[in-house]
Each structure stands twice: as C-alpha cells, then as structure tokens.
Amino acid sequence: MKNILKNNKLRTIGKVLLTVIVVNIITLVSCILGSLIYQNVHIANFTDMISNTMNSDLGYALCIIITTILVYLFYKYIIKKEKINWKDLGFLQKNRFSQLIKGFVLGIIFVAIYILILIIMKQVTFKFNRLNANVLYSLFMGLIIFCGVAFAEEITFRGYIQNLLSKKNKYIGLFITAIIFALSHLLNSRYSILSLIYLTIGGVLLGLMRMETENIWFPLGFHIAWNWTEIRIFGLGNDTDNHWLSTNIMQNTIWNGGESGTGIIVVFVELALIMFFIYLYVRRSKNKTEFWWSVLSRPNK
C-alpha cells in the first residue's frame, strides 16, 4: 500500500514537472516561430531576431497567439490522454462571460487601489497622456498579449496543476501551486526575493479565486486586468507616452518596489484580498454544510 501511495506521489510530481517544462518549451518555440514570421531573417541572428520581435507589440502579439494555440492543443491532448474534461480545468460553460468580466473589473480595482495608496504616500507621481492613436494601439495590443499570457498561465497553474495537486488536500494543492507559479517567473528581469513573495501571495490569491468561484474564468479575468492595467493603463515605471497614464517612481523604496514595481503596498493589498476571499469561501462552505445538515436532519413524514 505504501509503495502504491509513493508511486502515485512520484507520478503526480512527474506530471507537474513535465507540464511546466512542456509549457516553457512551447513558449520558447512560439517566440522563435513568431520571430521568424515577423522578422523574416536568417536563423543565425535569432538572438537579435527574438529581441527585436519581443520589443514590438505586433511581434510580441504574434508570438503570444502562437503560444495560445499550442498551449490549447497541448491541454486538449492532456484531456484526451487522462480522460478528463474542460470542466475539470475550470472552464465551466455557465456564467463564464459574467465571471470573466467580474474578475477583470476586480483586477482593475486592485491595481488602482495600490497605485492610489502609493500616490497618497507620495511614492509615485502620474500624469495623463493624450488618448491618441499610439495610446489606443498600445492598449489594444496589450489586451491581446495579456489575454494570451494569462490564458497560458491560468490553464497551467490554476487549471491543471492546482486541480492535480488538490485531489488529496486542496489547501496543500493551493500553496504548492502558488510556489511553483512564483518560481516559474525566475527568468523575469528584475526578479528579487520580494518578487518571489509577491508572486507567491498572488498565486494564493488566484488559487483562492479558483476555489471560491469553482471556475477558472474569474481568476483569468483578474489576471488579464492585473497585467494590462498595471503596464498598459498606468505604465508603472515606464516613462514613455504610449500609456493612458504615466506613473513614475519618485525614489526607489521598499514601499513601491523601485524598478521591479513589486513593493510592500502591493503585498498588503494582495493580503487584504486574500482575507476577503477566505471569508467568502468559509461562508459559502458553511452555508453548504448548514443546507445539507438541514436536509439530512429533516424528519421523515
């Protein structure tokens, strides 16, 4: 019996590691394919080719579209092989659009709150830019890019891995998934210990959304809005004018996170949202328990 349990654990670990590796390979292959299509240059210059492509919204969007298609095909294969369905990954048909919009709106509010706190604390300054063609183009392309990025990450972490790790204990599955999610960003520029903490807490928050709403649409909408609002609406830490607002850090501090954009204020707001979703989850679980208890304890006529 112990050997069977051990083998099941090893099999689960193997599935998680293989999934993360495959998705990263898909991302790399997509960047190369997208760069070849966009740049149309010889493969010998592929380092400059990829760099130039990723610095262009159109090139970046092309890579993300290819990534999204390949990731979708990969999970379609997983579903067939493991005899599961899209519902197991959180893609419920009921109320999917409303859940996506609710998550998206909460994501915008989340970013706006922590930036407002930073403004009140005089950690950052911001200015409005003219809503011209360049800004509208940046907003539109950013939305395409971050929809693809969020889809690949949410289906991998909150959809497949959290579902896989939560079969024995959903809370352990939640925290392990959050840690793997944070570690998967190690190659990001300006990654730090604070970034690791911030992304782990963010992973817990997204995982709680998945648990509370019992679907992936809500955290997907939140994830899209989080990236899009922070980078394309507020342009945090970016001094170009291709954003609706330009938010500039006055001085690098632990509160605002400096150039990394990951400060203690973001962590505080994340923790506040986590407490809110824990409250919702406990209340929902309590209501379900009370409902079934009332049904079971109802006297037979």
- What is the structure's pLDDT at 297? 47
In a domain, 290, yes or no: no
- Minimal CA–CA distance to 89: which of 113, 72, 67? 72
Q: Are residues 3 and 50 in the same domain?
A: yes
Q: Are residues 129 and 271 in the same domain?
A: yes
Q: What is the mean pLDDT of residues 51-60?
A: 85
Average confidence score pLDDT of the chain: 85
Residue type at position 182 = A
**Strand pairing of 124-128 and 245-249?**
antiparallel
Q: Are residues 121 and 250 in the same domain?
A: yes
pLDDT, tens digit, for every residue of 125-150? Answer: 877 777 888 888 989 999 999 999 99
CA pair distance 141, 56, nearest whole angstrom: 10
Residue 127, strand partner residues: 246
Q: Are residues 95 and 77 in the same domain?
A: no
CA pair distance 167, 177, nearest whole angstrom: 13
pLDDT-derived band at 19, boundaries 50, 70, 90 = very high
- What is the structure's pLDDT at 296? 42
In a domain, 296, yes or no: no
Q: Are residues 203 and 118 in the same domain?
A: yes
Residue with tokens 């706006």: 112
Residue pair 150/67 in contact (Cβ under 8 Å)? The answer is: no
The rounded percent of the chain whose pLDDT value lies above 70 is 87
In a domain, 25, yes or no: yes
CA pair distance 36, 26, nearest whole angstrom: 15
In a domain, 246, yes or no: yes
Q: Are residues 8 and 110 in the same domain?
A: no
Q: Are residues 162 and 257 in the same domain?
A: yes
- Residue that terminates a domain, selected from 43, 66, 83: 83
CA pair distance 82, 7, nearest whole angstrom: 17
pLDDT, tens digit, for every residue of 258-293? Answer: 666 677 888 899 999 999 999 888 887 776 655 444
Q: Are residues 276 and 150 in the same domain?
A: yes
Q: Are residues 56 and 116 in the same domain?
A: no
The pair of three-digit structure tokens given for residue 51, joined into one six-digit string: 């760099």
Q: Are residues 210 and 236 in the same domain?
A: yes
Name the DSSP letter for residue 198. Answer: H
Q: Are residues 31 and 113 in the same domain?
A: no
* DSSP strands (E only) in the chain: 124-128, 245-249
DSSP SS3 for 238: coil
In a domain, 74, yes or no: yes
In a domain, 130, yes or no: yes
Q: Are residues 31 and 110 in the same domain?
A: no
| Mean pLDDT lowest among 40-49, 87-96, 263-272 | 40-49
Residue pair 118/124 in contact (Cβ under 8 Å)? The answer is: yes
Give yes or no for residue 300 having a pLDDT over 90.
Answer: no
Residue with tokens 């037979």: 300
- What is the structure's pLDDT at 5? 45
Q: What is the mean pLDDT of residues 203-224?
A: 95
In a domain, 147, yes or no: yes
Residue pair 134/241 in contact (Cβ under 8 Å)? The answer is: yes
In a domain, 2, yes or no: yes
CA 147 to chain centre: 10
- What is the structure's pLDDT at 248? 76
**What's the domain range around 159?**
85-284
CA pair distance 287, 293, nearest whole angstrom: 10
- Residue that terminates a domain, selected from 68, 83, 98: 83
CA pair distance 128, 110, nearest whole angstrom: 20
Inter-CA distances, 135 with 59, 67, 241, 265, Å: 17, 25, 8, 27
What is the CA angle 1-175-114, rounded to 5? 175
Higher pLDDT, 39 or 211: 211
| Mean pLDDT lowest among 4-18, 63-77, 216-230, 272-286 | 4-18
DSSP SS3 for 167: coil
- Residue that terminates a domain, selected from 83, 112, 133: 83
Q: How many domains does the chain contain in total?
A: 2
Residue pair 247/240 in contact (Cβ under 8 Å)? The answer is: no
Residue pair 154/227 in contact (Cβ under 8 Å)? The answer is: no
